[in-house]
Amino acid sequence: MNSWKSQEILMISYSVNLWFYWLQVVCMMKLFRYEQIKDKLSQKSFDGTTQSFKDVIHQFSDTSIETLRSIHAQIVQNKMKRTLASHQKPQAVKEFLRRYHSRIRGNERKPVLINIAEEADMSPALLARIVLENHLQERADSDEEPHKVLKSEVTRLMKEPHLIEDGALSIQVQLCNLKDPCYGPYVEAIKHTDCRYRKEVFLISKLKEYRFDFMTEDDMRVKGYDKTPDVKLEVPFAWNGNVINWIESKASFGDEKSHNQYIKDQYFSYINRFGSGLVIYWFGFIDELAEACKQHGIHLSDRLPEENEIVRFDPYPLKWDPEEEEPE
C-alpha cells in the first residue's frame, strides 16, 4: 500500500477515535434528572438552535451538548407524531396556505413559512413539505391530464429545493430545511450518514483491534437474516458477568419510549435468534432502564467496553496431544 494512503487511513482512524473519545464517559442518567432536562427543552421558548443550547448548557453541566440535542430531537419527534395528523387535515392545510399566500408577496426572502410553523408549534420542514405537496398537486390538477403527485417527487424536491420552479417557494423550503434541527433532508443526512457512519466505523475498528471475529449487518443480510444487529460475534464474550453475543449501536439517547419501541421492534428478535447482547446508546440512557431489561438479556452501555474489561471465551478449551497420553 502506498505510504500516503497508509497515512490517510491512519489519520481517518485517529480522527474517528478522537471524535468518540469524549463519548467514553458515563452518560447514564437518573430518571429525575432526565425529567428536569426534558421539562427545560420542552419549553416553547427553546427553539433548538445552537444559541438556545448554549443558554441552557450551564444548567446541565454534567451532560454533553450532543446528549441534550438527542433528547430535544426525541421531544420534538414525539410531539410531531402526536400532532401531525391534525396539521394535515384539509381545514388546517387550507389555513396554512391562506397564511402563506397572504404573506409571501414582497417577503420572498423572509422566513414566512418558518414564522407560520412557529405559530402552529410544528416542524418548519414538515410544514414546508405540506405546502410544497399542495403546490405541486395544484399544478398537476391543472395539467391536460390531471394526476396524483407522487410522494417520491415531493421528497426529491425537498432534497433539491433549488429545482422548485416557483422561486419564492424554493427559497422558503431552503430556509425551512436550514432552520429545522430535527426534520428535513439536511438533518437526515447528518444523522444517518455522518453520525451513523462514524459510529459504525469506530465500533468495527475497535472490534478488529480487539481481534474479534464477527459479522456485520450487511454480512448477515447476505446470509438471509431479516432483522439483524449491527454486529454478531462469532464467539461471544463476557462483560460485567453478562454474555454478549451481539452488539447494537444507537447514535441517540435511550429514553423510555424509544427504548421500549426498540425492544418490541428489534431487541427481542435478536435475543430469540442469538441470545443475550449489548445495546450501546452513545449519547447515554436513563439509568433505570438498564436493570429493567437486564433480566431479558439486554445489557445497556454508553460505550464499547475496554479490552481489559472483556472476558474471552476459548472455543477450543481442551487440547489433546496423543504423545502425552499415558500408556495403559
CATH number, position 212: 3.40.1350
d(CA 254, CA 260) in angstroms, rounded, equals 9
Which pLDDT does position 28 carry in this prediction?
63
Q: Within this chain, do residues 81 and 155 fall inside the same structural domain, yes or no?
A: yes
- Residues 274-289: what's their mean pLDDT? 96
Which pLDDT does position 185 carry in this prediction?
94
Is pTM beyond 0.85? Reply is: no
Q: Within this chain, do residues 146 and 244 fall inside the same structural domain, yes or no?
A: no
- Residues 240-266: what's their mean pLDDT? 95
Which pLDDT does position 25 carry in this prediction?
40
Give the 3-state secondary structure of residue 325: coil
Cell numbers at residue 6, please? 497508509
Q: Within this chain, do residues 225 and 107 fall inside the same structural domain, yes or no?
A: no
Q: Within this chain, do residues 70 and 178 fall inside the same structural domain, yes or no?
A: yes
What is the SS3 assignment for 101-167? HHHHCCCCCCCHHHHHHHHHCCCHHHHHHHHHHHHHHHHHHCCCCCCCCCHHHHHHHHHCHHHCCCH
Q: List pLDDT tens digits, range 23-38.
A: 434 456 899 999 999 9
Final residue in a domain of this structure, among 137, 153, 185: 185
Q: Within this chain, do residues 160 and 223 fall inside the same structural domain, yes or no?
A: no
- Residues 115-120: what's their mean pLDDT? 96
Q: Within this chain, do residues 205 and 137 fall inside the same structural domain, yes or no?
A: no
Residue 5 falls inside a structural domain? no
Residue 327 falls inside a structural domain? no
Residue 299 falls inside a structural domain? yes
Which pLDDT does position 244 carry in this prediction?
98
Final residue in a domain of this structure, among 162, 185, 208: 185
Question: What is the number of domains present in the chain?
Answer: 2
Q: Which strand (E) or helix (H) includes residue 278?
A: strand 277-281
Position 221 pLDDT exceeds 80: yes
Position 144 pLDDT exceeds 90: no
Q: Name the nearest CA neighbour of 202 among 17, 72, 78, 5.
A: 17
* Residue 46 structural domain: 29-185
- pLDDT, mean over the chain: 88
Residue 4 falls inside a structural domain? no
Which pLDDT does position 22 carry in this prediction?
38
- Residues 196-213: what's their mean pLDDT? 91
Q: Within this chain, do residues 234 and 305 fall inside the same structural domain, yes or no?
A: yes
Q: Within this chain, do residues 156 and 291 fall inside the same structural domain, yes or no?
A: no
- Share above pLDDT 70 across residues of the chain, in percent, rounded to a whole number: 87
Q: List pLDDT tens digits, range 37-73.
A: 999 999 988 988 888 998 898 899 889 998 999 999 9
Q: Within this chain, do residues 204 and 79 fall inside the same structural domain, yes or no?
A: no
